[in-house]
Amino acid sequence: MRSLLYFIFALLLLSCKESDKHRIARLTEAWTGKTVYYPADSVFESFEADSVRKYSLKRTEYTVVTYIDSLQCASNRLRLEEWKSFLQALRPAAKGRITCLFYLHPENREQMIAKLRQSAFNFPVCIDEDNVFYKLNRFPADTLFRTFLVNSENKIVDIGNPAEDPKVRERYLQRIMDTKPDPD
């Protein structure tokens, strides 16, 4: 009798747990259409070899924006090589209609800069030591939901990390390539 009660209790616990598929669908629905807010004092730089290049940001049709916190930075979840591959594939398709922004909140700024230089990551990065970007947006704890494709009005139109998920990569590329450039 006791083992039957344990079995029923375990079954109830498992049936109450949200499946990954439902959780992803719920978070995607909740975040699609939300506005992404950027700190006014964001400074974007790229760290190539021994030089630092600063970027002035312009509004584009789309922006891929990703937030990487100190835990992801420390655990080698940056996936810089995968990001470089995605961004290089994106350049010909984007034709100036897209910006890619990286907000990094590392524990150690100098170690982060060393990682970026070592990998020759020459894309705009904001090292957000005060974590202002996160505080403005309150992203979900799930790291799958910290990379967004944002339209020119800063509204989220797609969610997911194209450096980690080939399906997300294809969705982003398809959406960007389907958009016709504005006539000059």
Q: Which tens digits make up the pLDDT trace of 158-169? A: 999 898 889 998
Q: Which tens digits make up the pLDDT trace of 60-119? A: 899 999 998 876 655 466 788 888 888 888 877 777 788 889 999 998 889 888 888 888
Q: Tokens 């910290």 label which residue?
A: 146
Q: Which tens digits make up the pLDDT trace of 14-42? A: 555 557 777 778 878 888 999 999 998 89
**Cβ contacts of residue 121 below 8 Å, gap of 6+?**
46, 47, 80, 83, 84
Q: Are 125 and 68 in contact (CB under 8 A)?
A: no
| In the predicted structure, residue 184 carries a pLDDT above the cut 60 | no
Distance CA 108, CA 39 (A): 20
| In the predicted structure, residue 180 carries a pLDDT above the cut 70 | no
Task: Report the pLDDT value the prediction gives residue 141, as an integer from 0 to 100.
Answer: 83
Sign of CA dihedral 36, 39, 42, 46: negative
Task: Report the pLDDT value the prediction gives residue 153, as an integer from 0 to 100.
Answer: 94
Task: Report the pLDDT value the prediction gives residue 182, as an integer from 0 to 100.
Answer: 45
Percent of the chain residues past pLDDT 90, beyond the cut: 27
Distance CA 72, CA 150 (A): 22
Q: Give the pTM.
A: 0.80
E-strand spans in 6-146?
44-48, 51-55, 62-68, 98-104, 125-127
Q: Write down the mean pLDDT value for the chain.
A: 81
Sketch out the chain's domains with CATH numbers. 28-41+60-178 (3.40.30.10)
